[in-house]
Structure 1
Amino acid sequence: MDRTPSPRATALDAVHRALGATMTDFAGWSMPLRYGSERAEHQAVREAAGLFDLSHMGEITVTGPQAGELLDHALVGHLSALRVGRARYTMICDADGGILDDLIVYRLAEQEYLVVANAANAQVVLDALAGRQAGFDAALRDDRTGYALIAVQGPASPGILAGLTDADLAGLRYYAGLPGTVAGRRALIARTGYTGEDGFELFCAPEDAEPLWQALTDAGRPVGLVPCGLACRDTLRLEAGMPLYGNELTTATTPFDAGLGRVVRFDKPGDFVGREPLRAAAERAAERPPRVLTGLVARGRRVPRAGYAVVDAEGRAIGEVTSGAPSPTLGRPIAMAYVDAAHAAPGTEGVGVDIRGTREPYDVVALPFYKRRT
């Protein structure tokens, strides 16, 4: 008998299936991979707007007089210094400095924070926070079933949302969130995203997800909004140089290995998990990191995939691809890769990728591959 658990369905599952989405099992959730053309969905986000179901993400609420101090101890960032209504990108590391997950933390009130983890790591993050909770006057609540999460991303997204909400979108800064209503439904409206474009993520009650999705669809249809799946979300984040847990970020990497040492705050009060190993990693990175996360752009048409070797002119391995895909915006395959520091500078000659036994030439470029027009 097959005892494999069935993937969980989001509150929008029936909507995706009615739209003809190709569904996939992702981190234990049944999620839309695409609705039609991945390229068309990708281009809609770059040129107009796309609508995403992100309800697989894991929400954990932290409350209490020492909620901020608990997060300062458990995470690498200085979360107690975060102002109410603002959000911060941060990480949770193990005792050796390896990355357990990358997170966004929202401060909802003086004594309330919302931690948003990647779907595959939500239980790991919850368990790690619980293991670090002792001695703090703070409580944890697993809110993974308490939210649906819908994102509208792209240059047309502010105009689409403005007609549906009472919130001051013009005054809502990037990495900020505020409570409001959207199409008459209560939501936390956050100016965050994972596409490299302007956009919003809307945390709402699961029962409000379908009417909210429909209202956004109706409001966005005249300006080209389309539903988008996980496939184009991956190419969008890759073009924007945004790391993906399990690819660029793992327990074998520290924030400094990934070029994200800025998220580690050694100046915050008190101790935090992984402090000394991370300090050592910072010193190594300052001297000369063994490998650097960098961008690669193909000269040909063959697409690199995670795990492919990056090689020098003589075919010797000098790194490894972590993410690769065709870039709809650049019109060529691109990749992020950890490459030996001596070969990682933009413009370095003689770098290639071993694709099934053939060395394909690649140009080394700075990340990100794409920056939106401001």
Structure 2
Amino acid sequence: MKYTPFTEKHIALGAKMHEFAGYNMPIEYSGIIDEHLTVCNGVGVFDVSHMGEFWVKGPHALAFLQKVTSNNVAMLTPGKVQYSCFPNEEGGIVDDLLVYHYEPEKYLLVVNASNMAKDWNWCVSHNTEGAVLENASDGMAQLAVQGPKAISTLRKLTDIDLTAIPYYAFATGEMAGLGEVIISNTGYTGAGGFELYFYPDEATKMWNALFEAGAEFGIKPIGLGARDTLRLEMGFCLYGNDLDDTTSPIEAGLGWITKFVEGKNFTNRAMLEKQKTDGVARKLVGFEMVDRGIPRQSYELFASTGEKIGAVTSGTMSPIRKMGIGLGYVKSEYAGVGTEILIDMRGRKLKAVVVKPPFRK
């Protein structure tokens, strides 16, 4: 298995470790519910150094990104971040990603760890524009400092005015005595905070500084288990569950990152534009349990009439709401908010209702 610069820290702290995307990663420390609530109410630190990072540079960088990503990169100015996806030729999604406009003619793509090799090969094989591509994944470490006390923690470590960095924007500068740190007002928790990118050989110094600065706020390390429950309470999609090579961004409710602007002829634009105009046969919806039960991936979904209408893609017991919540694809006629559906849980059909995420307000 691969390791992040923090793997030995996780083990020393007693984390439950497990393979994820080829990496030995912490799943939980003090327990998923405790870690979840720590992020919602205070501040927690996630090791996300397993994520992939690609530089796209040169005079042809923008043309390349306009072709391979769904969102309109031309709207990005330096210092801004954009959520996007790589559409494939069949109408599905190669991966979802973040696009950072680092400086003129220089962009940073942050992709999912599980898709790192696939994404890199996709970019290289589709680079007919001649953009300069660099896979920097092994040369970057990343920590996500998330929660309402994140800004109070981080302002102890930098002179940069963090309040001046809007959501989905970033600054580059000194943090914890380290230079050239990317300080990004992004995250996957819905609890606020920043994602920090820095060199792996500076990992220990950054980790120690963060936990010293956050001690008065009860800072804790957080595992991938709580990362998943936090993102699901916000209704954020997870690649491999809610998105994959067969789900289109239109079906997944990602029409807002699929821009059919003049001159942007991205992969499979015609098919996706037709879907947006004509509609789709299935849609990704959020749902809350009415009956007691915890929905899990692949559980079948039914209409109240008994007709099979889809399947759960993500599900959990919400630590905040203390009820079962989930995402799943259903036939479009059953996607309306308030629609009652049934979930087959080991032979028992339990009631749920379609709602609009986020589940945590």
Same fold by TM-score greater than 0.5: yes
Partner of 1:348: 339
Which of 337, 352, 356 is matched with 1:362 structurally? Answer: 352
Partner of 2:320: 329
Matched, 1:105 2:99: yes
Partner of 2:38: 44
Partner of 2:132: 139
C-alpha separation in 1, matches of 2:185 and 2:153: 14
Task: Compute the displacement of 1:314 (Å).
Answer: 3.6
1:136-175 mapped onto 2 (5 Å cutoff): 136=130, 138-175=131-168
Partner of 1:338: 329
Partner of 1:245: 239
Instruction: Letter of the 1:32 partner, please give it.
Output: P
1:148-297 mapped onto 2 (5 Å cutoff): 148-186=141-179, 187-285=181-279, 289-297=280-288
Task: Compute the displacement of 1:310 (Å).
Answer: 0.9
Partner of 1:306: 297
Partner of 2:52: 58
Instruction: Please say if residues 300 and 332 of structure 1, whose CA atoms lie closer than 8 Å, have aligned partners that are also in contact.
Output: no
C-alpha separation in 1, matches of 2:253 and 2:39: 27
Distance 1:121 1:268, change over 3 A: farther
Task: Compute the displacement of 1:96 (Å).
Answer: 2.3
Instruction: Letter of the 1:370 partner, please give it.
Output: R
Instruction: Please say if residues 72 and 264 of structure 2, whose CA atoms lie closer than 8 Å, have aligned partners that are also in contact.
Output: no
C-alpha separation in 2, matches of 1:83 and 1:268: 19
Unaligned runs of 5+ in 1: 1-6
Instruction: Please say if residues 60 and 129 of structure 2, whose CA atoms lie closer than 8 Å, have aligned partners that are also in contact.
Output: no
Instruction: Letter of the 1:355 partner, please give it.
Output: M
Instruction: Please say if residues 32 and 225 of structure 2, whose CA atoms lie closer than 8 Å, have aligned partners that are also in contact.
Output: yes
The total of aligned residue pairs comes to 360
1:71-150 mapped onto 2 (5 Å cutoff): 71-136=65-130, 138-150=131-143
Distance 1:268 1:184, change over 3 A: farther
C-alpha separation in 2, matches of 1:273 and 1:342: 28
Instruction: Letter of the 1:318 partner, please give it.
Output: I
C-alpha separation in 1, matches of 2:194 and 2:138: 21
C-alpha separation in 2, matches of 1:131 and 1:268: 24
Q: Which moved more, 1:307-316 or 1:225-234?
A: 307-316
Task: Compute the displacement of 1:363 (Å).
Answer: 2.1
TM-score by length of 2: 0.97
Q: List per-residue Cα deviations over 1:129-160 (Å, max 9, x = no partner).
A: 11121233x21001010100001001111111
Task: Compute the displacement of 1:248 (Å).
Answer: 0.9
Instruction: Letter of the 1:307 partner, please give it.
Output: S
Instruction: Please say if residues 71 and 80 of structure 1, whose CA atoms lie closer than 8 Å, have aligned partners that are also in contact.
Output: no
Instruction: Letter of the 1:331 partner, please give it.
Output: K
**Structure 1 vs Structure 2: percent identity of aligned residues?**
39
Task: Compute the displacement of 1:315 (Å).
Answer: 2.9
Distance 1:270 1:37, change over 3 A: closer
Q: List per-residue Cα deviations over 1:312-357 (Å, max 9, x = no partner).
A: 22432112100001100101111111122222222223x2100000
TM-score by length of 1: 0.94
| 3-state SS, counterpart of residue 361 of structure 1 | strand
> Where has structure 1 moved over 3 Å in runs of 4 or more?
none
Instruction: Letter of the 2:348 partner, please give it.
Output: T
C-alpha separation in 2, matches of 1:22 and 1:233: 14
C-alpha separation in 1, matches of 2:259 and 2:332: 25
C-alpha separation in 2, matches of 1:232 and 1:135: 41
C-alpha separation in 2, matches of 1:265 and 1:343: 26
C-alpha separation in 2, matches of 1:98 and 1:363: 27
C-alpha separation in 1, matches of 2:25 and 2:236: 21
- Say what the alpha-carbon RMSD is for the aligned residues: 1.2
Q: List per-residue Cα deviations over 1:178-232 (Å, max 9, x = no partner).
A: 1111110121000000001111000000011111111111111211221100000
C-alpha separation in 1, matches of 2:262 and 2:241: 29
| 3-state SS, counterpart of residue 162 of structure 2 | coil
C-alpha separation in 2, matches of 1:20 and 1:215: 20
Instruction: Please say if residues 69 and 80 of structure 1, whose CA atoms lie closer than 8 Å, have aligned partners that are also in contact.
Output: no
Q: List per-residue Cα deviations over 1:272-305 (Å, max 9, x = no partner).
A: 21111111221232xxx32221111112332111
C-alpha separation in 1, matches of 2:22 and 2:262: 36
